[in-house]
Amino acid sequence: VGLVVAALLMMALMADLRHLSRHLGGGARGKPGPRKGDAADIAKGEGPRYVDPSGLFSFVPPRNWVRVGNPASGGFYNVVFQGPYGMDLCIQVVATNGLTFDKLIESLRRVERNLAADTHMDFAYVGPYRAVKRSVQLFKSRVLLLDFITGDLAHHVQFSVPPHLYDEYEPVFLRLMQTYEPGRILVAPEPSAAP
């Protein structure tokens, strides 16, 4: 799990660098005007529910955000949605082998020490599930990370937001996560006994 978290932090950094060229183009540093998929648009109502093809989770993504990539093509995340202002939402769900919430916290702290990363660690809830909530400032974006365990599934949700929009979007994303429903690992059928 520690290796997974380290990889997630590296992916966040890479996503941040990917958006760098968009942000270096200049433009006003003030609050942007209204756009499809912004906080006000998301607050207007729910769109259709996204259901992971493997059945690992479902949720209502931000209104007017676009799903990018194909999870079946071997990408790191199960799904990625992109919104306005270079924002994105990424979800990864992996099977664990008896990982507990306390061990998840230990693993996240160990990875932070190894990477010399300083994230603010707090707790939040995704439905009835207690989650580790962290945020980290990268070069041109601020990332909100939610990690939680449901049975034998570890869920990692990452929101990448321009720093000047973080305070506006953090509560919007946390409300959005209340639509998240974890799936389950399907147990392989027992082999039938030969007569």
The mean per-residue pLDDT over the stretch 166-192 comes to: 81
Closest C-alpha to 148, from 189, 107, 194, 191: 107
Backbone torsions φ then ψ of 95, nearest 5 degrees:
-75, 140
Q: Determine the pLDDT at residue 29.
A: 44
Domains by residue range for the chain, with CATH: 2-22+48-182 (3.40.1000.10)
Q: Are 145 and 153 in contact (CB under 8 A)?
A: no
Cα gap 104→100, rounded to integer Å: 6
| pLDDT of the residue at 16 | 47
Taking only the tens place, the pLDDT of each residue in 107-147 is 998 988 888 777 788 999 999 999 999 999 888 899 999 99
At a CB cut-off of 8 Å and minimum separation 6, what does 98 contact?
152
Which residues partner with 134 through β-bridges?
121, 145
* pLDDT tens-place string over residues 49-80: 999 999 999 999 988 899 997 665 567 899 99
CA distance 90 to 145: 10
Label each residue of 21-56 as H, E or C: HHHCCCCCCCCCCCCCCCHHHHHCCCCCCEECCCCC
Q: Is the pLDDT of residue 28 over 50?
A: no
Most confident of the ranges 106-120, 142-156, 175-189? 142-156
- More confident call, 14 vs 185: 185
* pLDDT for res 75: 74
Question: Could you tell me the pLDDT band of residue 149, with boundaries at 50, 70 and 90?
Answer: very high
- Both tokens assigned to 41: 């648009």
- Provide the pLDDT for residue 180: 94
pLDDT value for 113: 85
Predicted local confidence at residue 123, as pLDDT: 94
pLDDT exceeds 70 at position 194: no
pTM of the model: 0.75
φ, ψ at 19 (rounded to 5°) = -85, -5
